[in-house]
Chains A and B, each alone.
Chain A
Amino acid sequence: MREHIQACKVHSHPGVVFFHFELLSRLASSEPEVKLRALREVKNQIIGNRTKKLSFLKLGAVPAVAGILADSADGVIDKNNCNNNINNILVQSAAALGSFACGFDAGVQAVLDAGAFPNLLRLLANSNEKVVDAGARALRMIYQSKLAPKYDLLQQKNMDFLISVLNSENENVSGLGASIITHSCQTSLEQKALLDAGILEKLVSLLEGGSLSQRDASLESLATIFRNNSEVVSKFVGPEIGRSLSSVIDLAKDRHPRTRLLACMCLIVIRNTSPQLLQNIGIKTKLIHILLELLDDPGQVGDEAPFALSSLIAQKEDLQKLALEANAIDKLQYHLQRGLLHPRRHEGILLALADMCSKLESCRSKFLSLQALNLVADALTNDSADIRTAACTCLKSITRSIKNLSAGYFMNEMIVIPLVQLFLDPSTSVQVAALGALSNIVVDFTTRKSIFVQCGGIRQLVQLARSMEPAVRSNALWALKNFVFLADNRLKEGVFSELTASLLSSLICDPEPSVQEQALALVRNLVDGCMNSVEFVFADDGLILGAVGRQLQRASKPEIGIQGMYALCNVASGNEFHKEAVMHQLFPQMVDKNQSFMIKFLQSNESQLRTAAVWTIVNLTCPSSPGAYGRLVKLRNAGIISQIKKLENDPCVDVKLRAKTVQGHSEAFGVQPLLEHQTS
């Protein structure tokens, strides 16, 4: 049966297309009665029916209807035509245009392109209530799309219009005002302008005394005005507007699911904007319970609920813990395994699970105990790019579990093969997310990396390291870095021969700082371990080592310095030749000591950077190596030893201990640090 219906669906019946065509020709009729009937018929055909919206759109119905609206609004239609007919035509054409724009971006674009927007606005001033309703509804549909024109809230005349709209007795018109705010208010300047214009009070009155749709629209607008603006939030919870916060809290228990959802979202925005508010545990638990219950709603509300839950718990351990206690993971998993999910809901549930499992091991254990991993693995091959991305994000959180990583739990065909396939995904965000998940999985403490190598993972990662997208390059290097972490030399050689010295050195000098950082971190892990590993940076006449040195000279961020310095530190743990090569990078010719990055790093505020720098000196001056004395003298002459002496009381224990080690080395050779005035 399924095959049959789907097969028949692909093309419309020729008779149907002809019927649509004939209907459009009736729209052009000079007879007002015929025209009106045709308009109404178009409207009834497309309402609720996306396929027909598209099909009429392709036949050019939108400009035709927009033309009728324009003519009728101008009154160019036959003078004998009675008023009633004109009003009916206005109502039907506005309703048809509104339906084209409802939940259908191509329709919104067509309506805007046909120039219908200003004519719909004019309908708001009509004396007939039904015409006003139809116009306001159509405009609200348009404003629910991202494509709607942004309304400039900073212009006084626009603000005046907005206030008049919000003050309207007609609930469609005042609802339109709220939709305009929700769509157009983006900057803190605009939020402030709305606050100053007294819009907050207006919205609060709609919240408390308005109809269902006015309340919902008001909650949405309020959330928009509050977002990341603690000044507006403090005004809202302050004494002047008084008990409005408790009105929102009450609405979170409203009988209408959509109102509950919007009230929760508004409270979440308030909390995320002003973390000192809504801290009481009762409210937090209540929000979690309401959102989990809203997951059961079969419609749009249930689709959006997991996203709201996500924004509530993201980055907040306390809330994740409360949600775990409220059985959030069981509930999310239950919906996930039921299947037949709307794509939006599917994405939301995966993202909510990702946030749940992002910090707490207890959450990850719970998730894994429910056998939910295969559901996430299935979603890796979903048709929707958003779902694939969400599945990767979820995997990334779950694979943070060191316990399960150590057990090699994630390095299996079910997960690794689809993930590697996503490296070639047409969507960049999927690629980036897949690399993120894989980066965790390849930190494997067992020796099961073979699955990844066998399915061509290394070659693909190296390909992605050449991507045009900086985020893809950086994440591919991240994955490679984790892959070679504590790996044996054979695996490292495999990676290096694929990567080549020239590609790696050019990535070290990438224009993007995050790529530089990951490339240097990859070098650091490559040369970590046995003496043979150190040789990688000397391939092709030391191409990589030279690149590391150059990048350290101009390091734009401490993170780059840290990774580069650790790379040098690992090289300096090698033999005499290796140590001298590092010295050469520290003191390239033509650079006097004041410009030495070593001094700069030793004085850095970043304790990690100081640690890496001092460790490098420890390795260079280790008394058991024959050239240590010569290097110590050179370092002292450059003022580095006296700089390290100053670190003997460093607040960071690592730095303090290593600084003492260096001191011990110089005392063993009788090398005294130069005094301050002698070095200047």
Chain B
Amino acid sequence: MNKLVMNFLVTEGYVEAAEKFRMESGTEHRMAVKKAVQCGNVEDAIEKVNDLNPEILDTNPQLFFHLQQQRLIELIRNGKVEEALEFAQEELAPRGEENQSFLEELERTVALLAFEDVTNCPVGELMDISQRLKTASEVNAAILTSQSHEKDPKLPSLLKMLIWAQNQLDEKASYPRINDLSSATLDDPTV
């Protein structure tokens, strides 16, 4: 049970609660990475991932590309046009050479530079906060996988399964039922 709760806390990112269990050390780092991407500090996030486990970005080209793409987006957001162009050429173009679909995504991103009003241009959704969240959750999932955790917490699905099973049973039999999920005590059937 402890493991299950821990799994829930870790996966959902309740840092303080999880610390009380004093088990998982990776969580704090992972949350810091996620937060850094959400705030637009992508370079900082990359360094943190590499400190956590250098294999993650070395063996996951798609994630690495998306982080670099996010870095480019942040440069464009901050109006650093020249830096953005240089970054696209030095860091991203070689990845596009290695993978055609990256090249297409890169082209879409660089297209942001062509518009005066980036938020209302055809590729404007890249500038949206949701793009950051998308990238952040991709990093989060990769770190979890590297730590052998599931991407989704197990507790909610187990509870759902319990309720479903009890509902099914209710129609067919009387049995010791769990009515109070928080205490999980078995109540004798009312005859």
Contact = CB atoms under 8 A, between A and B. Distances in A.
Q: Do A and B bind each other?
A: yes
Interface of A: 1-2, 5-6, 8-9, 12-13, 16, 40, 43-44, 47-51, 95, 98-99, 102-103, 137, 141, 171, 211-213, 255-256, 298-300, 339-342
Contacts of A13: 86, 89-90
A43 B62 contact: no
Contacts of B90: 12-13, 16
A48 B107 contact: no
Interface string B56-81: 01111110100000000000000000
Given A141-B55, A299-B62, A340-B100, 8 more contacts: A47-B46, A48-B61, A49-B91, A50-B94, A51-B94, A213-B146, A256-B145, A339-B100
A168 to B, nearest CB: 16
Contact of A8 (B93, B104, B145): B93
B62 A298 contact: yes
B93 A6 contact: yes
B50 A95 contact: yes
> By CB atoms of chain A within 10 A, which of B62, B89, B107, B110 has the most?
B89
Contacts of B101: 298, 340
B148 A44 contact: no
A98 B101 CA distance: 27
B48 to A, nearest CB: 10
A1 B54 contact: no
A340 B99 CA distance: 8
A102 B64 CA distance: 14
B94 A47 contact: no
12 contacts: A1-B111, A5-B93, A5-B96, A6-B97, A9-B94, A12-B90, A13-B90, A43-B50, A50-B98, A102-B59, A298-B62, A299-B61
B47 interface: yes
Given A44-B46, A299-B60, A9 B148 contact: no
Given A2-B107, A5-B96, A13-B86, A47 B57 contact: yes
Nearest to A54: B94
Contacts of B155: none
A103 B58 contact: yes
5 pairs of A and B residues whose beta carbons are closest in the complex: A48-B64, A340-B100, A211-B148, A212-B148, A48-B57
> By CB atoms of chain A within 10 A, which of B57, B60, B104 has the most?
B57
A113 B58 CA distance: 22
A212 B145 contact: yes
A52 B156 CA distance: 44
Contacts of B104: 340
Contacts of A1: 107, 110-111
B57 A8 contact: no
B58 A102 contact: yes
Contacts of B53: 137
Contact of B54 (A50, A137, A255): A137
Interface in B92-150: 93-94, 96-101, 103-104, 106-107, 110-111, 145-146, 148, 150
Interface residues of B, number: 36
B88 interface: yes
Contacts of B47: 40, 44
Contacts of A341: 100
A103 B59 contact: yes
Nearest to B47: A44
Given A44-B47, A50-B94, A212-B145, A9 B54 contact: no
A5 B58 contact: no
Contacts of B97: 6, 9
Given A1-B107, A256-B145, A342-B99, A47 B93 contact: no
Contact of A5 (B89, B98, B99, B150): B89
A137 B150 CA distance: 22
A8 B94 CA distance: 10
Contacts of B99: 342
Interface in B148-170: 148, 150
> By CB atoms of chain A within 10 A, which of B47, B54, B148 has the most?
B54
A13 B83 CA distance: 12
Contact of A102 (B55, B93, B94, B107): B55
B49 to A, nearest CB: 9
Contacts of B88: 5
B89 A47 contact: no
A40 B50 CA distance: 9
B133 to A, nearest CB: 20
Nearest to A339: B100
B96 A95 contact: no
A2 B58 CA distance: 25
B45 to A, nearest CB: 11
A261 B106 CA distance: 30
Contacts of A95: 50, 54
Contacts of A47: 46, 50, 54, 57-58, 64
Contacts of B145: 212, 256
A47 B91 CA distance: 12
B152 to A, nearest CB: 10
A8 B98 contact: no
Contacts of B50: 43-44, 47, 95
A259 to B, nearest CB: 11
Contacts of B103: 2, 5
Contact of B110 (A5, A98, A213): A5
